[in-house]
Structure 1
Amino acid sequence: MATTTAPKPPTSTPSEMTAKELLRWSWRQLTSMRTALVLLFLLALAAIPGSVIPQSDVDAFAVSRWQERHPKLTPVYEKLQLFSVFDSAWFSAIYLLLVVSLVGCILPRTRVYWRGLRAKPPTAPRNLTRLPDHATYTTDEAPDEVLARAARVLQGRRYRIETRGDAVSAERGYLREAGNLLFHLAVLVVLAGFAIGSLWGYKGGVIVVEGNGFSNNLTQYDDFVPGSLMRASAMEPFSFDVDKFDITWLMSGPRKGMAQKFVADLTYRETPDGEEKKYPLRVNHPLSIGGTDIFLIGHGYAPRITVRDGNGDVAYSGPVIFLPEDQATFTSFGVVKAPDARPKQIGLEGLLYPTFLMVNGNPTSVLGDDRNPRLSMLAYAGNLGMDSGDPQSVYVLDKDRMKQLTKDDGSMFRVDLFQGQTVDLPDGAGSVTFDGMDPWVRVQISRTPGQGVALAGVVLALIGLLGSLFIRPRRVWVRVRRREGDSSGDDGDGTLVEVAGLDRSGGGDVPAELEQIVAALQGRPQEEKS
């Protein structure tokens, strides 16, 4: 008896994909237009935390203050890199995936478009009267004359034509797909512009007190974020002085108490030995020097403070930058350090109220203008820790080796001073004098070499979008044939002309277009109705 051998079971089910097939499928998904749109949307969403959460490369002090107020959220935000969103790994991943997806979309579509651009208009369908938009009429002209006229009429209406036998095929609107490709290519150009600025550009911030100046070198910046390929030698050697800062406060009307005008009068030099020039620096009106832009982005107050130590010597004297905590009233926080004080170093931290007023027993500032400035600070004596060699922020007081000064009865001591007043510190530690007020301005200095590229990309995207919206691809066919005569042997009843059109973009004025074409073929004015 014959025996049969059972077939071996397959090593894999038909639904399973090999590694090569999986890679091909993944590539197709990544380079699909839907994925590109999703990634573009995700990139926009990913940028939101960068505008809501303080960023370390924009305002390091704001980040530190936020972290002090949210100690529980800070570790989470740090792990998620939310304090440096645009440098984070996840933002860069979305950015790079979007670039790859756009390239994968554009290349194959460009090949298809190039083949379609060179292809001839499609052959006329067998039965034109079955198309949704069509028209027919009869004429005594010979078929060849009608075909020749149809070719001229359609060429005059910017159609590309091809005559095949008894029909003329015409097509136009090829630039619609070019508009789509241009739009996607423009997005790549915009991304490339941002990448160029991130790699070869830089951005920094500095606070300059009225009457002081700034030179464009790394040591002068309060915070500085260079691009990965940025070189210090590429920085323009300019400098500027803040001669005066003018601000106008509204004292009546619904916007009472708000600032209206900000102008920082600068004297600048493009080179160390260059000619001095004047410029009124205003919000949204940056000063451009070479490829670098200088923006006015903030302002505040720097009270002039003199600290004398226990020996009566001046340990510190000058303006101290206080940073606003409330943009409406400009209540500001600041730190004073006197490392030269003897026998103990002195540190102060507290608030500045530009227009001081007691409201319900609580100190507050009712106006951002410095009409009644008052300092309220805590005093410390000891070791500021500045001799350890570790860098310290000028806006943070290290109190680990400091002792808070108190009154003789042990109660809290505060340095409360109006302008022009002096207060003695407990335990003979010294004295503090509030000499006056100076305004300061915060400027952002940035060099973005890819700015022109990004702007060109935006313009190209707009052109491509307009082309894809308003250019309609359309096909028109004209077929002619002699009508058959009757049984008596008549040569015929004339030439039957069939005209049909198809709008490939969906919804268009095809009937009106056909009516104009038929009118032109019949030699009638286009305004005349059939």
Structure 2
Amino acid sequence: MVSTSSTTEREATGAPPPLAPRELARWGWRQLTSMRTALLLLLLLALGSVPGSVVPQQNIDASRVLRWKADHPGLTPLYEKLGLFSVYDSVWFSAIYLLLMLSLVGCIVPRLGVYARAVRARPPAAPRRLDRLPAHATALTSRSGAEVLERAGEVLRRRRYRVVASGDAVSAERGYLREAGNLLFHVSVIAVLVCFAAGQLWGFKGGVIVPVGRGFTNLVSQYDTFDSGTLMDPEQLPPLHFTVDDFTVKFIPSGTHRGQPESFAAHLTYTEAPGEPERTQRIEVNHPLVLDGVSVFLVGHGYAPVVTVTDGRGKEVYSGPTVFLPQDASFASYGVVKAPEAQPKQIGLDGFFLPTFAATKQRGVFSAFPDALNPGLSLRAYAGNLGLDDGLPQSVYDLDTRRMKPVLGKDGTPLQIVLSPGRAVKLPDGLGTVRFDGWQRWVKLQVSDAPAKTPTLVSITIGLLGLMGSLFIRRRRAWVRVLDTPEGTRVEVAGLDRSTVSQTLDDEVHTLLGLVVPETAGDTDRTDAPPEETA
């Protein structure tokens, strides 16, 4: 109950009474379903997608997220609270998404009813003063008024007008598909949003790095990163197995674009299901392997140096290709080697694989070209406890040195190991030996399934057609009136554009007059009233 003092104060100040809950809800609904709000939410959705393209995403490249966090420890807590490492799963992005869909639906549904009534409605009767419309023309003819009106109806119908004759005038209107195109575009936007949501709910996306010569089976445990929709069962992944047989890459050798990749492709041997015959496929960027809705994209490549570690007992405790991740355009790649079984101490190595080894006093060691023309390996060695026995997960691309000490050289400084293929170095203090046996290439593949890809494409196509219709179709009205005068039959033609002020409206009116009264074409009175004088 509103107090008497509050009521008196409002009456004294002239302030309006407060809205009742129902009125407030109605006002809020009208604001939400206005076109202005829909456009604002669409803009917010576009802006909200920007962090997903700028900040590394957990479900796409987890290792890159870890490196970003290590490089920006101050920003990491804030980014995690805002959900910027998984933008499309965040609460705020989902809220914008749902509000946009609700706004569009609430905006479109009432307009459908208005459009349906407009389609069934008859063209409006002719105004009393046609000469006050934006475009107007008159002519005299010896034909009878009935004959002129009949011919006017035929001409207007041929020009795709809806025609209604009433008394001494013919009313016509065309361009109904303009609003249909507008509605179709907005409906397609909703359809695209629904399809995107379906892909997020029932689809999956995984990333995996596969060295050349190795295979992959479509199991969750085989992925480096895996993100599935809320309603998708990871145990029901489509059967798929492939082997990366070869990888070819060609870099531009000279010029302003030196070192940029000219082309790269992976050659796969795959089977769609156990027992199925093997097939081969060459995949490139934007040319994936597609199997029953599942797409295998080639998204990256790099080097995997083959390193062998022998401990102080002479036992081989590590051997094989190790994935190193590119850090720059020259493909200088960082990686880690862990030998937890080494004795007397566990051994850890980290450093860079340099495809074309070079060194200067100013820069130190670096790669001069991304192709493996003169490969080299630059490593630092650590001895101690790798921390793998604690049961806590560790990234294979990071080395935890908190309980390790750097291996020192003869001069007492941390030992820097520089190796060429086939060379080995003996670690001091009887720790063991590190050998660089060679290198292999690896490819990064993205395996994904978006169930609503085809409906999304169809919705986008329909939306573009609707947008073109709303932009290029003109909503236009025309009237033809006849008046009997002593000099003959006076024919008046007038037009009105309902959507925009068109420069072609006057030409359209005079074209209509010339077709209705062809014997007077070119001999008409022309009146162009300004739009503000429209009756």
What range describes the TM-score normalised by the shorter chain of this pair?
A: over 0.9
Task: Give 2:306's aligned residue.
Answer: 304
User: Structure 1 residue 481: deviation in Å?
Assistant: 2.8
Correspondence 1:430-441 to 2 at 5 A: 430-441=432-443
Distance 2:365 2:143 in 1: 99
TM-score (norm 2): 0.92
Q: How does 1:85-100 map to 2 (within 5 A)?
A: 85-100=87-102
User: Which secondary structure does the structure 1 equivalent of 2:110 belong to?
Assistant: helix
In the alignment, what sits opposite 1:329? Answer: 330
CA deviation map 1:240-295 (0-9, x unaligned): 11111111122223322332121111111111221111111111111111101111
Letter in 1 for 2:434: V
Q: Are the aligned partners of 1:299 and 1:441 in contact in 2 as well (CA < 8 Å)?
A: yes
Residue in structure 1 matched with residue 361 of structure 2 by the alignment: 360
2:511 maps to what in 1?
516
The Cα offsets for residues 353-403 of structure 1, whole Å up to 9 and x where unpaired, read as: 121111225111111112222222222223322233332211122223333
Alignment check: 8 A CA contact 2:140 2:520 kept? no
1:381-420 aligned within 5 A: 381-407=383-409, 410-420=412-422
> How many angstroms apart in 1 are the aligned matches of 2:516 and 2:201?
61
Contact 2:348 2:386 in 1 (8 A): yes
Q: Following the alignment from structure 1 to structure 2, what is the Cα–Cα distance between the partners of residues 386 and 522? A: 95
- Counterpart of 2:488 in structure 1 is 494
Partner of 2:274: 272
Please state whether the residue corresponding to 1:229 is helix, strand or coil: coil
Does the 8 Å contact 1:204/1:222 carry over to 2? yes
Superposed displacement of residue 11, structure 1: 8.8
Partner of 1:465: 467
Equivalent residues of 2:139, 2:523 under 8 A apart: no
Equivalent residue for 1:505, pick from 474, 481, 499: 499
Give, in whole Å, the separation in 2 of the partners of 1:130 and 1:246: 74
The one of 179, 182, 194 equivalent to 1:180 is 182
Query: Is the partner of 1:293 in helix, strand or coil?
Result: strand
Instruction: State the Cα deviation string for residues 8-32 of structure 1 (Å, max 9, x = none).
Output: 9459652522222222112111111
* 1:309-361 per-position Cα deviation (integer Å, ceiling 9, x unaligned): 111011011000000111x1111111111122223222111111121111225
Q: Is the 8 A contact 1:377 1:415 kept in 2?
A: yes
Q: Distance in 1 between matches of 2:50 and 2:466?
A: 27
Q: State the secondary structure of the residue aligned to 1:475.
A: strand
Cα distance in 2 for partners of 1:75, 1:384 equals 26
Moved more, 343-352 or 400-409: 400-409
Shift in alpha-carbon separation, 1:84–1:525, aligned structure 2, 3 A? farther
Q: Does 1:347 align with 2:348?
A: yes
Kindly provide the amino acid, as one letter, of the partner of residue 517 in structure 2. Q
Residue 354 of structure 1 aligns with an amino acid whose one-letter code is: P
Structure of higher RCO (CA pairs closer than 8 Å, 6+ residues apart): 2
**TM-score (structure 1 length as normaliser):** 0.93
Do the aligned residues in 2 keep the contact of 1:193 with 1:452 (CA within 8 Å)? no
Distance in structure 2 (CA, Å) of the matches to 1:521 and 1:283 = 60
Answer yes or no: is the 8 Å Cα contact 1:135–1:498 preserved in 2. yes
SS at match of 2:99: helix
- Deviation string for 1:170-226 (max 9, x for gaps)? 111000001110111111111112111111101110000011011111111000010
Q: Is the 8 A contact 2:203 2:229 kept in 1?
A: yes
**Distance in 2 between the 1:411 and 1:153 partners?**
96
Deviation at 1:524, TM superposition (A): 4.2
Aligned to 1:194: 196
**For residues 7-60 of structure 1, what are the alpha-carbon distances to aligned partners after superposition, in whole Å with 9 as ceiling and x for unaligned?**
994596525222222221121111111111111111111111111111111111
The equivalent residue for 1:114 is 116
Q: Matches of 1:122 and 1:41 in 2, distance apart? A: 38
In 2, are the aligned partners of 1:57 and 1:224 still within 8 Å (CA)? yes
Cα offsets for 1:217-242 (capped at 9, x unmatched): 11110000101111235422111111
Q: How does 1:9-28 map to 2 (within 5 A)?
A: 9=7, 13-28=15-30
Preserved CA contact (<8 Å) 2:141 2:520:
no
- Code of the aligned partner of 1:330: F
Q: Which residue of 2 aligns with 1:213?
A: 215
Aligned pair count reads 515
Q: Is the 8 A contact 1:212 1:241 kept in 2?
A: yes
* Structure 1, 294-303 or 157-166: larger mean CA deviation: 157-166
State percent identity of aligned pairs.
53
CA distance in 2, matches of 1:171, 1:380: 84
Equivalent residues of 2:163, 2:173 under 8 A apart: yes
CA distance in 1, matches of 2:324, 2:206: 19
What is the distance in 2 between the residues matched to 1:151 and 1:179?
Answer: 27
**Structure 1 regions of 5+ residues with no counterpart?**
1-5, 484-491
Q: What SS does the aligned partner of 1:125 have? A: coil
Q: Distance in 1 between matches of 2:179 and 2:478?
A: 19
Contact 1:214 1:241 in 2 (8 A): yes
- What is the rounded CA distance, in whole Å, between the counterparts of 2:18 and 2:277 in structure 1? 74
User: Is residue 192–residue 453 contact of structure 1 (8 Å, CA) maintained in 2?
Assistant: no
- Please tell me whether the aligned partners of residues 148 and 517 of structure 2 are also in contact (alpha carbons under 8 angstroms): no
